[in-house]
Structure 1
Amino acid sequence: MMDNKDLNKESLGLEEHEAETIKESLKELENESIVKQYVGIIAKFISIFAICFSIFHIYTGIFGLLDAQLQRAVHLSFGLVLVFILYPSRKAWRHDHKLHIPDLILAILAGLSPLYIVTQYQELVMRAGAMTDMDLAIGILGVVLVIEAARRVVGLPIVCVVLFFLAYAFLGPYAPGILAHRGLTMSQLIGHLYFTTEGVFGIPLGVSATFIFLFILFGAYLESTGLGQFFIDLANALAGWARGGPAKVAVLSSGLMGTVSGSSVANVAGTGSFTIPMMKKLGYNKNFAGAVEAASSTGGQLMPPIMGAAAFLMAEFVGIPYMEIVKAATIPALLYFLGIWLGTHFEARKNNLQGIPRDLLPKSWVIFKERGHLAIPLVVIVYLLVVGYTPMRAALMGIFLSVVVAMFRKNTRLTWRQIVFGLEAGARGALGVLVACAAAGIIIGVVTKTGVGLKLASALIDFSGGVLILMLGCVMLTSILLGMGVPTTANYVITSTVAAPALVQMGVPILAAHMFVFYFGIVADVTPPVALAAFAGAAISGGNPLRTGVEASKLAIGAFLIPYIFVYNPEMLMINATPLNLLSVTVTAIIGMAGVSAAMIGFYITKSSWWERILMLAGGLMLINPGSLTDITGLVILALITLYQWRKNKSAEAVVE
């Protein structure tokens, strides 16, 4: 039987130089990939520093956190030093091995600025907001360096949003109408942004400094044990043989990877380099192949329990237990992936695409026998969260277990060197989230200091005339716009701060409001023109990025529809839902997604005409929307279309015979 490595080489025909080209293309899309490589003493220093960063978090996780602002300041200090060393200020410096003086100076200043809060903590508390000239200078320096770090790691979109809000803080008296305010002095703004827990050191950085870092470290160890390849192999064994198998492998593996991944583009790179060439080889159009992986990888950010680390932030912002967030997100996420799965199935049937021969695929029982133990930490961590452990304690247990269970078999066993350098990998992996959270904290600080959040909510309500469906449309467009090119955590922080309050004022349950903006912020990754996941998929498939984005949006149609449904029917989020009601909602939504997916692809039992597609879309939407009348109407429509297409297909077969 051909193993997975053989399958990669012989079935895909993916040469090493092609893989390198793909990696370089993806680096241009995701700033976090542009990490400079050092050698010699500098490389050793970076490794030791990053390992100390992880040890600090493990130590405080076990023995108790520092005071909130101190914990966050040390976290930011470690992170900024690594950012300014690993992410060069100039593109020309990416490929040499020198530590250039400007980056070294910025790294030192970036490390010292948060430590000023640590060393002067008691005095700052005693002064209770009365700032000295030194405080002001350190605060300005800290804010500027956070913005520069965001430019290097996260990219220009979030920097532009941050600068817009900072400008608004100073230019408030000149803002139009309801958005006007008295304006802030430099001292007022910096004092709020840098010396309180309302700005840079606010809730986003606090969550990054506790839950998120440990979960990223947990993910780094899982990846080093080979769990990612285990997911891909398992997906191949379970779905590779089915009609259009490689596309279904992409959906399944991306969903599994999404449980630990924090980036749509990284997910595309991780699974897409394997699945996209397979889809093209099978006969899928290159734009469609890239779109399947882009839509699936984007869905990974919607999949519990991690949800791109946004689940932890949402629990803090909404003020409900983390497991309630996980429960609420489960049915919408499964419906989203079901929609993509059905889309790939109907596309395969339309083009008569078969799966991969079973003798070329790994056997599921062999995969579980050899590497099934790698999934034990994931199972245990979910169990611990369910029974009431804090996310931090659960993550610590997961880190420990991921190392222990890897020792069960020789082929997955980690060496001491791998265990130690897993600490470095975790620290490096946390930098993007850390910087995004710090930058997003600046936005939150301006919003809370100026009161613009409530003003924006009032403006949106006035613009929509108090009509909920119009309000949802406005918030959807706002969330997509704000989410373009922004990573998951910062994406959610921005949309929940700017757009969610408007929905809450309209009477939408707070969890449904936050989940609504979260979904549409994430969907920006596949929505043209700025569709980073689609661009990443096109980079691998060789397709057109814009067409790939359009195809990905069609496949991800569930993400555009489901949020509207759970706003009107919160039962889908398990809010005040009975078991019978929940079962009814789930079953009818599954049937509805089949109708919607068939309408998007233009194929059901046979090729569909324009009017059949419209009816299937209408019937599917009615079934997705819970309610007895809509369910019955939707079922009747889809039943009639099924009967009609079955008879049309039989007639076509009779003519052929």
Structure 2
Amino acid sequence: MKELKRNTMRDWKLAFANAKWTEQTLAILALVYVGFHLINLFVAFGPMGSKVIHIGMGIGVLTLDLMRRHPGRTTKLAAALVCVTVIPAACYFFTDQIGVLTRYGFASSPDMLAGGVLVFWMFVLTGFYFGPAFAAVGLVFFVYAYLGSYLPAPFTAPSTDLLRVTSKLTVGALGDVVELSVTAIFLLLLYGSVLQASGAGAFIWTIASNLARRVGGGTGALTVVSSGLVGSFSGVGAAGVGITGPIAIPLMKRDGYTAEQAAAIEAIASTGGQIAPPVLGMVAFLMADFLGIPYARIVLAAIVPSILFYLGLLLFVVLIYRRNGGTGAPVEGEVQPDANHSGMRVGISFTLPIAVMVVLIMEGMSVPLAVFWSIVSIAVLALIFRLERDPKVWMGAILNAAINGAALGMASGVLDVVMASLDITQLGMIVGFIVGEIGGTSVLANFLLVLVAAYLMGMGMPGVAVYTVLAVTLAPVLINLGAAPIVAHFLIMYMTILSNFTPPVAPTLMLTARIAGANYMRSGLDAMKAGAGSMILPFFLFTYPALLLYNATFTAVVEAIVVTSLSIFLLTISLVGWLGRPLSVIERLMLAILPIVAWSADFAGVKPLYWGAVAACCAAFIWVVFAGLSMRKKTLAEISIEPQGI
């Protein structure tokens, strides 16, 4: 054992010595960057010092990463420009923190020059790591702050002094969203990377395999459970795809799912992690900040909707699998955990750190500290159980956390610019006025307009960016329509994730379609069918706030869960069009119309019609279940009397 350990360390040192100078420097800077975020929990760097270091050092990490991936003269020149501009700007902010904050809104020329340098590189690096669309939207808000007062009505912004605008857009880039990034988001990314590196991630596949066999959905069900678990602890849909997609998608195709179905299932399962406890995603932390409520309350509110989301997806997967002729038999090549990564040790190494984080948050500890102690528990358990001994794996985890955390830091700076622009131009009031003018006095029309606007603004954009804008512009409209603040913000959050897997612009689906070799638009149509549950959830959240366990009686919670579950169940079966046999058009229409009638009657307050529609939904559910059982028995009987070959 000692010899193996010495060999491993020797191989790692040799690999480091043979690496290029950019890789060596990046590894060292990543270690320092991660170390700073851990020390930052216990050491104060001033009122804005932590944000300055987070952004300044993050720009260095990303620059080295780009040099590593794109070696060339242009990249070297850009890196040199970064050094001669970012280092002086960051040092200026760090050494005069009190003065900069005192002059905020009426900043001096050096303040604005230093802030402008950091903002410029934030936009550039955000474009590289999150796509030009994200940076372009931020740039639109940046320009709108200057030119909004010259635009025609209804987009005319109040006239503001240019010095004040420039001050808020540059110095303001180190605002609340960057603060959230440096304190909580970075540590969560580190937590997810270290948990995977420890080998405890193999436990996900064990749990997922067992559940998948029980529900009978083959590798599709395995994908839903595993991608959901990974996504729920990473909070980033693309991260879930990167971990499970290359494994799960080929297995699903081998198991009878079409390439389009496999791409759709993986995209939705990974995206759903952003709305599933215990971690949720960056949006949840922003929501807690907007609403001024504990993060634990957001987690509690997300439990029931996330369960309904994944149950609807599992139902779709099982129906499609059976329709494609799946038998539920294990697929050759199905991924199983390594023998060294199984059993009680792996289970403890996976569940205990999560339990530590959840319990500490529920007890009132701040999220950053709870995540820190969870990371400590991962390290301790890894040493005790020796699940992963290769230093290269741990270094890779730290490197990934540093790069992803730095990229999110840049995106956070762009979002702070957007927030500053919204404050300067009062765009939230303008959008609310426009929606009100179009929708008139109709609650339903305004509600639908808000959902459509949220969906359209979410196309191709990270959910956190869209949520930040919509929380200021459209959430107040929903609150004026009678929704509680927490309900309004949950509605916004759910609508922002839909565009991740529905056409025409769906970043997560684009990634899974590439992995599956599938047609993008056909994958989008399958994703809309598979995601039927998530698409109708915003409607039911508006009429049933009890789904969020918000100021609700036990009876109201039960009613909300039953009616919403029935609606998702019937609508999914209608969209798939199969239940042991192909369903007729009449049957599919009946199953689809009943939930719509129930929701509409409840929205309109017509209780007799509502209860009648709910009773019809229950009857349809009973009929569907018995019809499915009868068809399954008939199929099994036919199989049992078939002559067996010799």
TM-score, normalisation: structure 1: 0.86
CA shift for structure 1 position 315: 0.6
Query: Does 1:70 pair with 2:49?
Result: yes
Correspondence for 1:501 among 452, 476, 483? 476
Match of 2:20 in 1: 40
The question of whether the paired residues in 1 share the 8 Å contact of 2:595 and 2:613 is answered with no
Structure-2 separation of matches of 1:350 and 1:417:
45
Q: Which residue of 2 aligns with 1:57?
A: 37
Matched residue, 1:265: 238
Instruction: Work out whether residues 263 and 301 of structure 1, in 8 Å CA contact, stay in contact via their aligned partners in 2.
Output: yes
Secondary structure, in 3 states, of the residue corresponding to 2:441?
Answer: coil
Quick one: which of 133, 136, 146 aligns to 1:157? 133
1:373 and 1:643 mapped to 2: Cα distance? 41
Q: CA deviation at 1:484?
A: 2.2
Structure 2 residue aligned with 1:174: 150
Q: CA deviation at 1:128?
A: 5.6
For these two proteins, the number of residue pairs brought into alignment is 612
Equivalent residue, structure 2, for 1:537: 512
Aligned-residue Cα RMSD (Å) equals: 3.0
> Is 1:440 equivalent to 2:423 in the alignment?
no
Provide the C-alpha distance between the structure 2 equivalents of 1:75 and 1:406, rounded to a whole number of angstroms. Answer: 28
Output aligned runs, 1:92-107, within 5 Å: 94=70, 100-107=76-83
For 2:214 and 2:338, the matched residues in 1 are separated by 12
Paired residues for 1:548-563 under 5 Å: 548-563=523-538
* 1:50 partner amino acid: A
Which residue does 1:138 correspond to in 2?
A: 114
* Other structure's SS at 2:343 match: helix
Pick the aligned partner of 1:485 from 460, 469, 492: 460
1:321 aligns with 2:294: yes
In structure 2, relative to structure 1, the CA distance for the partners of 1:47 and 1:648 (3 Å cut) is closer
2:112 and 2:167 in contact (8 A); partners too: yes
Note the 1:623-638 alignment, pairs <5 A. Answer: 628-638=611-621
Residues 215 and 318 of structure 2 are in contact (CA less than 8 Å); yes or no, is this contact kept in structure 1? no
The whole-number CA distance in structure 2 between the counterparts of 1:256 and 1:654 is 37
2:33 touches 2:57 (CA, 8 Å); kept in 1? yes
Looking at structure 2, the residues matched to 540 and 418 of structure 1 have their Cα atoms a distance apart, in angstroms, of: 24
Distance between the aligned counterparts of 2:406 and 2:159, measured in 1?
33
Q: Residues 139 and 190 of structure 1 are in contact (CA less than 8 Å); yes or no, is this contact kept in structure 2?
A: no
- Corresponding position of 1:14: none
Residue 387 of structure 1 pairs with residue 360 of structure 2: no
- Given the alignment of the two structures, is residue 79 of structure 1 paired with residue 58 of structure 2, yes or no? yes
State the alpha-carbon separation in 2 of the partners of residues 211 and 335 from structure 1. Answer: 28
**What's the CA shift string for 1:186-238, capped at 9, x where partnerless?**
4222211233xxx3122211110111111111111101112333312431233
The Cα of 1:433 is off from its aligned counterpart by 1.8
SS of corresponding position for 1:259: helix
- Please tell me the residue identity of whatever aligns with 2:272: G
Maintained 8 Å contact 1:327/1:574: yes
Compared CA separation, residues 347 and 421, structure 1 to 2 (3 A): closer
Uncovered stretches (5+) of structure 2, i.e. residues with no partner: 1-17, 603-609, 642-646
Task: Name the residue aligned to 2:594.
Answer: 619
Relative to structure 1, the CA distance from residue 347 to residue 64 in structure 2 (aligned partners, 3 Å threshold; closer, same or farther) is same
Work out the CA distance in 2 between the residues paired with 1:271 and 1:343. 19
**Residue 179 of structure 1: CA displacement?**
2.4
CA gap 1:174/1:99 in 2 versus in 1, 3 angstroms = closer
Identity %: 25
After the TM superposition, which of the residue ranges 331-340 and 225-234 deviates more from structure 2? 225-234
Separation in 2 of the partners of 1:332 and 1:178? 37
Question: Is contact 1:54–1:423 with CA below 8 Å preserved after alignment?
Answer: yes
In 2, are the aligned partners of 1:204 and 1:441 still within 8 Å (CA)?
Answer: yes
Distance of aligned partners of 1:257 and 1:621 in 2 relative to their CA distance in 1, 3 Å threshold: farther
Deviation digits for residues 498-527 of structure 1 (CA, Å, limit 9, x no counterpart):
322221232321111111111111111111
Q: 1:204-283 alignment to 2 at 5 Å?
A: 204-240=177-213, 243-283=216-256
Change (3 A) 1:68 1:127: closer
Q: Is the 8 A contact 1:208 1:437 kept in 2?
A: yes
Shift of 1:108: 4.5
Kept in 1: contact 2:288–2:294 (CA 8 A): yes
Query: CA, structure 1 residues 115+480, in 2 after alignment: closer, same or farther (shift >3 Å)?
Result: farther
1:628-657 deviation per Cα after TM superposition (whole angstroms, max 9, x unaligned): 554323213434555677788999999999
498-507 or 271-280, larger mean C-alpha shift: 498-507
1:288 paired with 2:261, answer yes
* Residues 509-548 of structure 1: pairs in structure 2 closer than 5 A: 509-548=484-523
Tell me how far apart the structure 2 counterparts of residues 60 and 113 of structure 1 sit (CA, whole Å). Answer: 21
* CA distance in 1: counterparts of 2:105 and 2:121, whole angstroms: 22
Alignment deviations for residues 449-492 of structure 1 (CA, whole Å, 9 cap, x no partner): 11111121121122111323222222222222222222232232
Does the aligned pair in 1 maintain the 2:105–2:165 contact within 8 Å? Answer: no
Q: Distance in 1 between matches of 2:98 and 2:443?
A: 49
User: Please, which of 562, 587, 604 is the counterpart of residue 579 of structure 2?
Assistant: 604
Higher mean C-alpha displacement, 126-135 vs 306-315: 126-135
Match for residue 35 of structure 1?
none
Which residue pairs with 1:21 in the alignment?
none
Whole-Å separation in 1 of the counterparts to 2:532 and 2:295? 27
Would you say the 8 A contact 2:89–2:117 is kept in 1?
yes
1:8 matched residue in structure 2? none
> 1:575 maps to what in 2?
550
Say whether residues 1:464 and 2:436 are aligned partners. no
Q: 1:396 aligns with which of 351, 372, 386?
A: 372
Pairwise CA distance, 1:497: 2.8
Unaligned runs of at least 5 residues, structure 1: 1-37
Deviates more, 1:287-296 or 1:94-103: 94-103
Aligned pairs for 1:321-360 (under 5 A) are: 321-357=294-330
Separation in 2 of the partners of 1:610 and 1:273? Answer: 37
CA 1:458–1:42 in structure 2 vs 1: closer, same or farther (change >3 Å)? same
**Counterpart residue type for residue 150 of structure 1:** T
- Tell me the SS of whatever aligns to 2:461: coil
Aligned equivalents of 1:530, 1:344: Cα separation in 2: 23
Cα separation, partners in 2 of 1:554 and 1:68, compared to 1, 3 Å: farther
Q: Is the 8 A contact 1:203 1:316 kept in 2?
A: no
| Structure 1 Cα separation of the partners of residues 554 and 614 of structure 2 | 18
Aligned pair in 2 of structure 1 residues 618, 99: CA closer, same or farther (>3 Å)? Answer: same
- Aligned partners of 2:585 and 2:229: how far apart in 1? 35
Q: Against the structure 1 CA distance between its residues 147 and 184, is the aligned structure 2 distance closer, same or farther, given a 3 Å change threshold?
A: farther
- State the distance in 1 between where 2:312 and 2:592 align: 13
> Hey, what's the Cα distance between the residues in 2 that align with 1:430 and 1:450?
30
Name the amino acid aligned to 2:179. G
Once residues 552 and 558 of structure 1 are traced to their aligned partners in structure 2, the CA distance between those partners, rounded to angstroms, is 11
Secondary structure of 1:87's aligned partner: helix
Cα distance change on mapping 1:404 and 1:102 into 2, 3 Å = same
* Distance in 2 of aligned mates of 1:96 and 1:229: 39
Q: Following TM superposition, by how much is the alpha carbon of 1:414 offset from its aligned partner in structure 2, in angstroms?
A: 4.2
Q: TM-score, normalised by structure 2?
A: 0.87
Deviates more, 1:479-488 or 1:641-650: 641-650
Over 3 Å counting, the alpha-carbon distance change for 1:624 and 1:370 in structure 2 is farther
How many Å apart are 1:48 and its aligned residue? 1.8
**What does residue 121 of structure 1 align with?**
97
3-state secondary structure, aligned to 1:562: helix
Is the partner of 1:407 in helix, strand or coil? helix
Change (3 A) 1:274 1:527: same
CA contact (8 A) 1:605 1:642 kept: no
